[in-house]
Amino acid sequence: MDMVMQISIAVIAIAFLVLLYSLIQTLKVLRGALDEMRQTVGSLRAEVTQISVEVKEAIQNTNAMTLDVRTKLSSLDILFASVNDLGHALHSFTGAAKESAASVVATIKGHERKQTDEPRILSSIYDGVISTIRVWNKVKKI
């Protein structure tokens, strides 16, 4: 029975040594993984710092570009307002010109029908002058 006990103690000692050896190997692997993780975290910190600086520069450039675009757009607003005013003036002018032409045509047609030369011609000239004055006043207002 002594021998069985000695063999059992020897087997337990060998098992303990195998367990310690595998535990030491596992700890070595973990140490290597932790060292690699430290290096990775250190390099990530440096890269994040560099990226944050670049992002700040990009944001500043974007803000400057946005301000420049807003300034240029505000200067274009004046141009578009002028074009709008010009369009209204042309619209008023063409409306008055149409009225004037219609009255001249109506007067000429009326003149052809009645064959009274002098009073109709003077009336046509008078209507043309009045229409021209109306057009001129509309253009001056704009």
Q: Take residue 46 and report the two structure tokens written for it.
A: 């440096």
116: left (phi over 0), alpha (psi -120 to 50) or beta: beta
86 vs 46 pLDDT, higher one: 46
The answer to whether 104 and 127 have CB atoms below 8 angstroms apart is: yes
Confidence of residue 111 (pLDDT cuts 50, 70, 90): low
Confidence of residue 13 (pLDDT cuts 50, 70, 90): very high
The DSSP call for residue 142 is -
43 against 78, higher pLDDT: 43
57 touches 103 (CB < 8 A): no
Top pLDDT among 89 and 2 is at 2
pLDDT in tens, 49-83: 888 889 999 999 999 999 999 888 888 888 788 77
Residue with tokens 């944050």: 52
| pTM for the predicted model, two decimal places | 0.41
Digit-coded pLDDT (tens) for 17-32: 999 999 999 999 999 9
Contacts (Cβ under 8 Å, ≥6 apart) of 89: 138, 139, 142
pLDDT at 10 exceeding the cut of 90: yes
